[in-house]
């Protein structure tokens, strides 16, 4: 025998083995009272499912194309069952290992008012159905060892999920309770407010329109984000330009100040020469006057005039220099 | 830019009752249709989803670059559907961005209901925003949430939120049936 080309476990949405005497559960649980209210019904389901521990079984397959056979060893642990009567929801954790590899490991839940019906059938039969639905109708599950029975919950959307039991009676008990819970949660085929095909079509249209609005929103959001980024970039560029202009203005002012300073220095040097000429000329003129030397007086007077003109030229040159600094 | 949502955005939640005429054109229930007692029990069992949490990304199309996000929680509890009085009573609690915006008991008199509709919450939010002066706001709600809106005259609305659109539609169907039965007064318990 060889392993089958696909995992049996992968065909099973949810699997539970219930009430196996070998692992110590109650061999004959109390029968379910079909007249129970929702709360005790949900408590019954929760208690029965939580009493299940890890289970192992071997499923045998036959390939009708070539007559070959194969097996898979399955280990499954479903735990943390919670049957919430307020929300009509059953939730649980499921970890399944097939051929030593984890097939799935996660939290699951379903709404009882989304369920149509419940049935019990041999697990091998259900696995054959899953194989066919998965596109491998040539694979037939011939048996499970030990024997397993699947409690199958048929959902409104056509999907189904299953819980596995070693004891067919126990499976029927939970099935009865779950059927009652579905009725009380107003699900099931008898739900007078179940949706018509037309109403389901309206929901599909709704969902398509919602998805389209989501796409339009995403496009608009991307545009808004781009606008935000562009605005920020513009703000940064403006700030940078302002900083650059301020720096340039400061540099310009500093250059003017330096130029003016240079003009002033030149002016001072120039005036120093004029003042010297004036002082010497004044002295010449004074000595000439004391000695009655008219030539010396004239020379000194001319020098003082010249010094005065030089000083004026120094001032004019400085003004012209500063004007050029601007 | 980030802008926190203001309280008026939660006005969609629930507005208290005004006197309104009975549902016009209510049809007499057929003899084979579910009784009012059954229908009210159905509503009571299915209209409460517990605590729902979702976020709404909002865009202000009139304001360049304005995008923000609000986080919502909404919880309906203690729903009682009373067939003799044709009333639903329940507690409604909502939080927006961690702040409680509503935490009160409400009554929905079915005889005053004019229409019951299921609307994706993003559309419902757009309607509410438009009414409160913000037609330029567009919301995207995640995960999808569906609003059952029971409308009365004067713009008074009671809203029930659902994560399952199918459940919302089924409860809406039951509520319309209850409204018809309550308006006709033909139902015997």
Given this model, what pLDDT does residue A227 score? 83
Residue with token string 């709704």: A206
Residue with token string 């994706």: B120
Q: Buried (b) or exposed (e) across B113-128, using 16+ Cβ within 10 A?
A: bbebebbbbbbbbbeb
What is the pLDDT confidence band of residue B36, given thresholds at 50, 70 and 90?
very high
Residues of A in contact with B138 (CB under 8 A): 217, 220
- Is the pLDDT at A38 greater than 70? The verdict is yes
Rounded distance, CA B164 to CA B184, Å? Answer: 30
**A46/A30: higher pLDDT:** A46
Rounded distance, CA B145 to CA B123, Å? Answer: 10
- Is the pLDDT at A152 greater than 90? The verdict is yes
- Is the pLDDT at B61 greater than 80? The verdict is yes
Please judge whether A206 and B120 are an interchain contact, meaning their C-beta atoms are less than 8 angstroms apart: yes
Between A38, A214, A231, which is nearest B64 by CB? A231
Residue of B nearest to A224 (CA): B65
Taking only the tens place, the pLDDT of each residue in A256-283 is 999 999 999 999 999 999 999 999 999 9
- Is the pLDDT at B9 greater than 60? The verdict is no
Q: What is the mean pLDDT of residues A20-31?
A: 39
Share of chain A above pLDDT 90, in %: 40
Given this model, what pLDDT does residue B8 score? 32
Cβ distance A120 to A149 under 8 Å? yes
Name the residue among A211, A276, A183, A16 with its Cα closest to residue B144.
Answer: A211
Please judge whether B49 and A87 are an interchain contact, meaning their C-beta atoms are less than 8 angstroms apart: yes
Q: What is the mean pLDDT of residues A278-293?
A: 92
The B residues from 87 to 126 touching A (CB cutoff 8 Å) are: 118, 120, 122-123
Given this model, what pLDDT does residue A51 score? 84
| Lowest-pLDDT choice from A28-37, A180-189, A287-296 | A28-37
Angstroms from A201 CA to nearest CA on chain B: 11
Given this model, what pLDDT does residue B46 score? 86
- Is the pLDDT at A123 greater than 50? The verdict is yes
Given this model, what pLDDT does residue A157 score? 76
Name the helix (H) or strand (E) containing A200: helix A197-290
Name the residue among B165, B68, B159, B143 with its Cα closest to residue A201.
Answer: B165
> Could you check whether the bond before residue B143 is cis, i.e. omega within 30 degrees of 0?
yes
Is A323 part of the contact surface with chain B (CB cutoff 8 Å)? no
Given this model, what pLDDT does residue B14 score? 31
Please judge whether B169 and A195 are an interchain contact, meaning their C-beta atoms are less than 8 angstroms apart: yes
Rounded distance, CA A15 to CA A174, Å? Answer: 14
Cβ distance B64 to B81 under 8 Å? no
Q: What are phi and psi of B110, to 5 degrees?
A: -65, -25
Given this model, what pLDDT does residue A25 score? 31
Is B59 part of the contact surface with chain A (CB cutoff 8 Å)? yes
Angstroms from A40 CA to nearest CA on chain B: 15
Given this model, what pLDDT does residue A106 score? 87
- Is the pLDDT at B75 greater than 70? The verdict is yes
| Lowest-pLDDT choice from A157-166, A312-321, B76-85, B130-139 | A157-166
The A residues from 214 to 233 touching B (CB cutoff 8 Å) are: 214, 217-218, 220-221, 224-225, 227-228, 231
- Is the pLDDT at B67 greater than 50? The verdict is yes
Residue of B nearest to A219 (CA): B59
Given this model, what pLDDT does residue A13 score? 33
Please judge whether A88 and B46 are an interchain contact, meaning their C-beta atoms are less than 8 angstroms apart: yes
Taking only the tens place, the pLDDT of each residue in B123-170 is 999 998 998 999 999 999 999 999 999 999 888 999 999 988 888 999
What is the pLDDT confidence band of residue A113, given thresholds at 50, 70 and 90?
confident
Which pTM was predicted? Answer: 0.50
What is the pLDDT confidence band of residue A34, given thresholds at 50, 70 and 90?
low
Q: What is the mean pLDDT of residues A8-17?
A: 34
Is A193 part of the contact surface with chain B (CB cutoff 8 Å)? yes
Rounded distance, CA B57 to CA A125, Å? Answer: 48
**Mean pLDDT over the full length of chain A:** 83
Q: What is the mean pLDDT of residues A67-93?
A: 88
| Token pair listed for B183 | 């308006």
């Amino acid at each position: 025998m060889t392993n089958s080309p696909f995992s049996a476990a992968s065909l099973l949405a949810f699997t539970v083995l219930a009430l196996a005497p070998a692992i110590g559960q109650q061999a004959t649980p109390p029968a379910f009272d079909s007249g129970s209210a929702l709360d005790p019904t949900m408590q019954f389901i929760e208690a029965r499912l939580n009493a299940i521990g890890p289970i192992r079984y071997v499923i045998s397959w036959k390939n009708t194309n070539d007559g070959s056979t194969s097996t898979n060893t399955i280990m499954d642990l479903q735990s943390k069952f919670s049957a919430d009567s307020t929300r009509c929801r059953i939730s649980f954790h499921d970890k399944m290992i097939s051929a030593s590899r984890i097939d799935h490991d996660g939290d699951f839940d379903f709404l009882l008012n989304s369920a149509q019906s419940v049935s019990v059938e041999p697990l091998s039969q259900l696995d054959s159905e899953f194989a066919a639905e998965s596109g491998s109708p040539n694979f037939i599950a011939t048996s499970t060892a030990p024997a397993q029975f699947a409690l199958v919950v048929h959902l409104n959307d056509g999907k189904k999920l299953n819980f596995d039991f070693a004891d067919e009676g126990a499976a029927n008990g939970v099935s009865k309770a779950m059927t009652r819970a579905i009725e009380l949660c107003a699900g099931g085929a008898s739900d007078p407010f179940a949706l018509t095909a037309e109403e389901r079509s309206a929901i599909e249209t709704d969902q398509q329109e919602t998805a389209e609005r989501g796409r339009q929103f995403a496009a608009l959001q991307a545009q808004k984000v781009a606008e935000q980024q562009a605005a920020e970039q513009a703000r940064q560029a403006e700030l940078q330009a302002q900083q650059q202009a301020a720096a340039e203005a400061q540099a310009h002012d500093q250059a003017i100040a330096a130029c003016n300073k240079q003009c002033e220095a030149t002016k001072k040097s120039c005036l120093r020469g004029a003042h010297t000429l004036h002082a010497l000329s004044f002295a010449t003129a004074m000595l000439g006057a004391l000695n009655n030397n008219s030539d010396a007086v004239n020379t000194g007077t001319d020098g003082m005039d010249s010094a005065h003109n030089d000083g004026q030229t120094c001032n004019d040159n400085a003004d012209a220099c500063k004007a050029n600094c601007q | 830019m980030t802008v926190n949502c203001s309280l008026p955005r939660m006005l969609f939640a629930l507005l208290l009752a005004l006197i309104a005429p009975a549902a016009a054109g209510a049809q007499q229930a057929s003899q084979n249709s579910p009784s009012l007692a059954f229908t009210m029990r159905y509503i009571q069992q299915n209209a409460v989803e517990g605590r729902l949490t979702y976020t709404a990304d909002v865009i202000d199309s009139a304001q360049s670059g304005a995008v923000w996000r609000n986080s919502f929680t909404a919880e309906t509890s203690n729903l009682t559907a009373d067939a003799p009085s044709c009333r639903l009573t329940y507690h409604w609690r909502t939080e927006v961005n961690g702040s409680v915006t509503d935490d009160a008991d409400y009554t929905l008199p079915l005889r005053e209901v004019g229409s019951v509709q299921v609307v994706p919450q993003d559309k419902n939010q757009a309607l509410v925003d438009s009414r409160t002066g913000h037609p330029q706001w567009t919301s995207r709600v995640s995960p999808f949430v569906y609003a059952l809106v029971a409308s009365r005259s004067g713009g008074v609305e009671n809203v029930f939120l659902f994560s399952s659109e199918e459940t919302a539609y089924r409860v809406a169907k039951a509520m319309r049936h209850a409204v018809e039965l309550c308006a006709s007064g033909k139902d015997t318990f």
